[in-house]
Amino acid sequence: MPNFSVLDLAPVSEGATPADALHNSLDLAQHAERWGYRRFWVAEHHNMIGIASAATAVVIGYIAGGTKTIRIGSGGIMLPNHSPLVIAEQFGTLESLYPGRIDLGLGRAPGTDQRTVRALRRDPAAADTFPQDVLELQALLGPLQPGQVVRAVPGTGLDVPLWILGSSLFGAQLAAMLGLPYGFASHFAPEALMDALAVYRERFEPSAQLDKPYAMVGANVFAAETDAEARRLFTSAQQRFTDMFRGTRGLLPPPIDDIETYWTPAEKVQASRMLACSFVGSPETIRQGLERFLAETQADEVMVSAMIYDHQARLRSYEILADVTKQLQTTAQAGGRGPGAAAAGTTA
């Protein structure tokens, strides 16, 4: 039975502020810890008024300081935006403060538009050196080598667990080659999911961090007491994705009664394609959908996003999912390996 974790983008809802969003993220993390979720990750985005987690390492420190046992990490840090040394120092500091609880997920995309990349003082071609930057970061967090002049303080020797995140075969190949756990962004880019998982598992080479492949998949879950209520909550995300195609990235909008009045047929096709790995409905509907998804992907972990406008409704959705995962665990134990029971490797 796979682990379930939380991906929180610190969404800023209409009528709220970034401060509200960050306080809500901590509250969600504290609840997720009590409900048994494995990890709580936040992601780096820049120049987006609807996402409050741009200073990702700072947000991780805030959330780790308000929790006790759940792993906290990045889903992910967009490494082309930073020097590996700075990231090693930031996450070395986090690991020093919260030992054994920090994850460092790494992405190759900038997490923003090209004008903002220039404002970050980064070369748009920096993504081309992503594999080399990962290796440099890995070395900075590894044991001090004879004659090593530059070190991360703190950071060197702390071996913060690295993850490769992506939505294409490139990340799958890199994660396999380096022997690192791999997370696929199927919660917004699901088309290459199965091909990427196959490449990762077939080409995986054991490493000091991981002896077997460990694949995480992204999914959106919008759970409520009834299917109709959950479908209404889902319209906030559907509006958000539709707005992306319109070239606007605003605050998270409240749900609406009829999404068909909001998008055009072409926009519906585009948004629905990106949101294909979404599970929307009552507890039973969610359970059935996840059973099929886990059987298909054989994922070791599911990273769940829920862009829900109302914070209390978002909490309730994750609470329902936690109950559903307990049911899936019981079913798996009763029937053997059960869905999604692939080998879990040795990652923390």
Other beta carbons less than 10 A from residue 133's beta carbon: 20
DSSP letter string, 50-73? TB--SSHHHHHHHHHHT-SSSEEE
Composition of the chain by helix, strand, coil, percent to 5:
45, 15, 40
Residue 51 has pLDDT above 90, yes or no: yes
Average pLDDT on 273-300 reads 97
Rounded to an integer, what distance in angstroms lies between the CA atom of residue 240 and that of residue 44? 18
- Of 93, 16, 82, give the one whose Cα is nearest residue 46: 82
Per-residue pLDDT tens digits for 19-47:
999 999 999 999 999 999 999 999 999 99
Per-residue pLDDT tens digits for 132-163:
999 999 999 999 999 999 999 999 999 999 99
Is residue 254 within 8 Å of 289, Cβ to Cβ?
no
- Ranking 118-127, 236-245, 298-307, 325-334 by mean pLDDT, the lowest is 118-127
Q: Which domains does the chain have, with CATH numbers?
A: 3-335 (3.20.20.30)
Per-residue pLDDT tens digits for 55-114:
999 999 999 999 999 999 999 999 999 999 999 999 999 999 999 999 999 999 865 677
